[in-house]
Structure 1
């Protein structure tokens, strides 16, 4: 917890300001990614991947909520009760939207759906295929990095408030829930805001996923792969942050 001006200053320096630099770089990368999508539409004369703009926007929502949490945590130290109520509300919204960032990994299936090779031509020699592939590889990488930046910041708040062990338990639980959320978003097709609009239906569908042995044969391997990718990526970046120090 923050106990004085020195702690508040260190929080601003170590938690808010470094993230701003990374956010700006990822924003520039996002503009480049969406520009490539626009170029691909012109190149193919097909209205491809317009939904990618929305998917990328949703991937950015958790980062915006994270920055808001940092601001509340750092600057609202006088009224602690009100600060923790705000943090709880923003944190719940962040939890529901967090899977949207790494969800972009699953969008990598689209090149294999929408790319139309010429008859008799090897697709690996067609430049258009690489436009499709690089576009969604870039989107997946941006989404993964956005998820890491967002979790790293919230993990830091939890760790400084409740301790190292609690912080890592929090990070692991979030990554597991996010992996399940990505599965639900990709295959069950629920959205983050449906948690408020149709909570009972989401609960029923999730309960069915986790109790039906047939569906579990698909749920567990998929969520396991997503969890492994996101956990390893997060740990690597986390270790890099200590190397920098």
Structure 2
């Protein structure tokens, strides 16, 4: 079973679980849908790698849309903060409802991490003959960290990049400080760790 098929099966199975079984994390439907949309776009990247002048504009627009949507994949990892819905006080015994919801949320995060790994592999394949491929990946991760910050703290969604770009840009610039830059750096480092463990070709060949 290839990664593309695994991603689709896991996405639709997880969404079905959220729709049919009782849980506290219905917001994961939307968040994982956005992550899945970015992943599906990554599979189309080779089709839009064009060197013909008449196709350059279409390719440029597609890559911009992909870059704008891509932070949604790793953003799901930050949904772990919603474990605070429950106390998880093991001294009071086993509360099955708490651990069921733990299972639901962690499963969604694992699926998103799988999406991220597959997406990065698709990008790496696209850049395989590019001189600055590692630098481009690092910039991609930094942009991802910025996108996660915008979504988590400024509460902008991807659609706002098209409907309210000036308002978004102003709020981002106004909010940047030492703490926000640290958060962006940490999210970028986490992405790099996932890349280094699961994607880096030299490591996999060792």
Superposed pair shares fold, TM > 0.5: yes
Equivalent position of 1:233 in the other structure:
194
**In the aligned structure 1, how far is the partner of 2:21 from the partner of 2:187?**
28
Distance 1:153 1:112 in 2: 34
Q: Does 1:104 align with 2:76?
A: yes
Q: Flag structure 2 segments of 5+ consecutive residues without an equivalent.
A: none
- Greater RCO between the two (CA within 8 Å, min separation 6)? 2
Alignment of 1:11-160 (within 5 A): 21-38=2-19, 40-41=21-22, 48-73=24-49, 80-113=52-85, 115=86, 122=91, 125-160=94-129
Q: For structure 1, which segment, 51-60 or 79-88, has the greater mean C-alpha deviation from structure 2 after superposition?
A: 79-88
In the TM superposition, residue 181 of structure 1 has moved relative to its aligned partner by 0.8
Partner in structure 1 of residue 143 of structure 2: 177
Could you say what secondary structure the match of 1:228 adopts? helix
In 1, the alpha carbon distance for the partners of 2:42 and 2:98 equals 36
* Conserved? CA contact 1:96–1:192, under 8 Å: yes
* Structure exhibiting the larger radius of gyration computed from Cα positions: 1
Kindly provide the CA deviation profile for residues 38-68 of structure 1, in whole angstroms up to 9, marking residues without a partner as x.
Answer: 4541xx6xxx322211111100111221222
Give the equivalent residue in structure 2 for 1:224.
Answer: 185
| TM-score, scaled to structure 1 | 0.74
Q: CA RMSD in A?
A: 2.7
TM norm structure 2:
0.86
Whether 1:190 aligns to 2:156 is yes
More helix by share: 1
**In structure 1, C-alpha distance between the alignment counterparts of 2:162 and 2:115, rounded to whole Å:** 24
